[in-house]
Amino acid sequence: MDTSDPSAALSDPKRLYRTVEERRAIVEETLSPGASVSRVARRHDVNANQLFYWRKLYREGRLGTGQALLPVRISAKSVLEADKSTTSTAAGTIEIQVAKGLIRVSGEIDPVVLRLALEYLVP
């Protein structure tokens, strides 16, 4: 390749530019149990070091745009219990699914502590 021609680098057929969605999908492949980062990288023709960097961005919540929304399910039972409660704390169980697993909060739940925990988990 002639390095004196600046347009030659742009036409390099080996260099692929991935969209954020493509990067996120490739990273999520590496998160499945038993997955090998090197094998996933080879399958998608990506350098393994580049894929490790994308994984770092993914863990930090920086691989994408906007803020991630968390799915919330409220059962009828919890709504009825909340109506009966007159205190600022409520007893129950909250399950929060995050990338690395499941967080379960049981018992009396202090809204301030829960808010702080969620702020720490979701950048």
> How many angstroms separate the CA atoms of 93 and 106, rounded?
4
pLDDT value at residue 66: 42
Q: At residue 3, does pLDDT exceed 60?
A: no
Q: At residue 45, does pLDDT exceed 90?
A: yes
How does the average pLDDT of the chain come out, rounded? 76
Q: Is residue 69 part of a domain?
A: no
Domain that holds residue 115: 76-121
Q: Is 3 helix (H, G, I), strand (E, B) or coil?
A: coil
Q: At residue 23, does pLDDT exceed 70?
A: yes
Q: Is residue 65 part of a domain?
A: no
Sign of CA dihedral 107, 113, 114, 118: negative
Q: Is residue 43 part of a domain?
A: yes
Tally Cβ neighbours within 10 Å of residue 40: 19
Token pair 């969209």: residue: 19
Q: Which of 15, 30, 59 is the last residue of a domain?
A: 59
